[in-house]
Amino acid sequence: MAQQIADRRDQDFVLYEMIDITQLTETEKYADFNKKTIDMVLNEARNLAVKEILPTQKTGDVEGVKLENGKVSVPPSFHRPYELFCAGEWVAMADDPSVGGQGLPHAVALACGELFTGANCAFMMYPGLTHGCGNIISSVGSDKQKELYLKKVFSGEWGGTMCLTEANAGTDVGALETIATPNADGTYNIVGNKIFISGGDSDLVSNVIHPVLARIEGAPAGTRGISLFIVPKIWVNDDGSMGEDNDVVITGVEHKMGIHGNATCSIAFGGKGKCRGTLIGDVNKGMKTMFLMMNEARQGVAMQGLGFASTSYINAVNYAKERVQSPKLTDFLEAAPKAATIINHPDVRRNLLIMKSYVEGMRAMLYFMGFCFDKVHTATDAAEVDKYQGFIEMMTPIAKSYCTDKGFDVCALGIQVYGGYGFIEEYPQAQLLRDCKITSIYEGTNGVQAMDLLGRKLGMKKGKPMMDLMGEINKAIANAKAAGLEDLAGKVEVALGKLGECAMILGGAAMSEKVLDAFGSATLFQEAAGDLMMAWMHLWRATVAKGKIEGAKKKEQAFYEGQVITAEFFINHMLPVGLGKMEAVKGLTSSIMAMPEDAFNA
């Protein structure tokens, strides 16, 4: 059975029928695009993903990466698709053509990203991190830094990373020990060791550009004293040519549970005292610079969760339609009942519908967030820009955590549908589960996302972004009622009100002596918020689909009916679990912090 990736019909539904991406083509920024152009881009992305990248998923997992004599080599099968990926200018899909990008709307780039990530996430981490590095240079780099690095990074000729983590400075980045010492020529000597650096080196590129967090000697302690530096693996001369090795040494490659095709490296900077870098951004503002890119990076990890889930779901559906096992329950009384395909069995179908509801809900949420990015860059009214930026701020920690947690859950159900075969590495489902797990850990663990949501986002601008988001959900509720979906809309309305109550209770507790109890419930609150986001998206989907069922052709009619039924399933069957979480949050348990430390171990 051939493996597939994301459902194109559903991608089109979200892009064209839900968020109406074509409205962006009426703006000056995206005037060169129309539906035909966007369709062509998506077709090309799918062809590259299915024909070139997807075949490397298994080979990359089996072959892994190698470190020999200080050089990292990736799975051999990665080289051809990487060359094609760069030739197609996919590294910088949504960036300006003047720096080597395609200038695509962000929402369209996300749709392409879902295809690429669903094909092979480990492969996509190389160009993905390279783009993140380029984005930093594009946003805060000096004219000289942009001249030296930007086009070669955005073209994929050079790779890029993000070097934050150290052995004693993971989540607590402020504890880092990497030191930068100023030189007379304006450069800095860099000395320190970084770990868990994805794409830290590879034989796909001729140079790797490392944005490195370090502390200038004498700078304040903690995050207030961290600066960011551009440190190339091979020094880049003022004329753009490559110079000497820059004392950047790969000391190890991690052997991981998944994403075996990506090089997760330990790197020593300046072990011989000859590593140089240049300051990017302002002194002691390195964390602020990194956080400029955090929303997009975390949205990218959420997209990875969706990519894994989408591929696992499609595999499971196709398998369930072909795998014959046991008669239908209604046929057991027959004299010689025939075995049926397993999609006819209620529990298998239940698993598939859970998978479908999460995948399609997450797709809608992430594409909508991409659309918000586009509105921020195209809206001419300051209040509108502020509103859409607020949506991004509020939804980012929810999307990152929910899509990665539920992406993992979907992959687990994908194994369940296959039964014993799902647990065997010969089939793709096991690898998808293994590869997916890292997404809830990197770019800030999902617990950190919950702390960000409660500690920063709920109270941002005196709660205005939260209120704006609730207002947007209320619009969807009103539209659904007008479309004849009063029952579903009413249930989402109840959930919205209850989540608002939770936010008030947690927010108040976080500013009181119960602060630790509040943060002990932050993850549960974040999960409940994600459940509400899914209900919102499905209500929106059903509202759009309901008016198109009558008069549609048979296949399209089934698609639209499926949207309404999926919404009914999620809101009636899954959302009540979210309501239970909200009740638990409102209870503000003290048990978490009251438990004696010694009681955790007999």
* Digit-coded pLDDT (tens) for 379-406: 999 999 999 999 999 999 999 999 999 9
For residue 283, the surrounding DSSP H or E stretch is: none
The pLDDT mean for the chain works out to: 95
- Residues 296-325: tens digit of each pLDDT: 789 999 999 999 999 999 999 999 999 999
Residues 207 and 236 sit within 8 Å (Cβ to Cβ): yes
Domains of the chain in start order, with CATH, are 8-154 (1.10.540.10), 159-291 (2.40.110.20), 454-602 (no CATH)
Q: Which pLDDT belongs to residue 334?
A: 83
Q: Which pLDDT belongs to residue 175?
A: 86
pLDDT at residue 1 is higher than 60: no
Beta bridge partners of 73: 66
Angle between helix axes 382-418 and 346-378 (nearest 10 degrees) is: 160
Residues 160/162/163/166 CA torsion (nearest 10 deg): -140
Q: β-strand 324-327 against 226-232: which pairing, if any?
A: unpaired
Average pLDDT over residues 144-165: 95
The pair of three-digit structure tokens given for residue 602, joined into one six-digit string: 């007999």
The count of residues in the chain is 602
pLDDT at residue 3 is higher than 80: no
| Residues 6+ positions from 590 with CB-CB distance below 8 Å | 514, 517
Angstrom distances, CA of residue 6 to CA of 301, 355, 382, 489? 17, 13, 36, 28
Q: Which pLDDT belongs to residue 602?
A: 65
pLDDT band at 170 (very low <50, low <70, confident <90, very high): confident
Average pLDDT over residues 465-494: 98
Average pLDDT over residues 83-110: 92
Average pLDDT over residues 20-35: 94
Within 10 A of 240 (CB to CB), how many other CB atoms are there? Answer: 11
- With a pLDDT cut of 90, the percent of the chain lying above it is 90
User: What is the SS3 assignment for 113-170?
Assistant: HHHHHHHCHHHHHHHHHHHHHHHHHHHHCCHHHHHHHHHHHHCCCCEECCECCECCEC
Residues 206 and 228 sit within 8 Å (Cβ to Cβ): no
pLDDT band at 432 (very low <50, low <70, confident <90, very high): very high
pLDDT band at 2 (very low <50, low <70, confident <90, very high): low
Q: Is 256 helix (H, G, I), strand (E, B) or coil?
A: coil
Residues 215 and 192 sit within 8 Å (Cβ to Cβ): no
Top pLDDT among 98 and 562 is at 562
Q: β-strand 242-245 against 234-236: which pairing, if any?
A: antiparallel
Measured CA to CA, the distance from residue 297 to residue 581 in angstroms comes to 28
| Residues 6+ positions from 148 with CB-CB distance below 8 Å | 236, 238, 240
Average pLDDT over residues 400-428: 97
| Catalytic residue numbers, as ranges | 443
The residue type at 362: M
Identify which of 145, 113, 153 has the alpha carbon closest to the alpha carbon of residue 6: 113
pLDDT band at 49 (very low <50, low <70, confident <90, very high): very high
pLDDT at residue 117 is higher than 80: yes
SS3 content of the chain, % helix, strand, coil (to 5): 60, 10, 25
Average pLDDT over residues 206-233: 95
Measured CA to CA, the distance from residue 315 to residue 54 in angstroms comes to 13
Angle between helix axes 486-510 and 575-587 (nearest 10 degrees) is: 20
Beta bridge partners of 591: none
Q: Which pLDDT belongs to residue 333?
A: 78
For 6, phi then psi, to 5°, come to -20, 140
Q: Which pLDDT belongs to residue 601?
A: 84
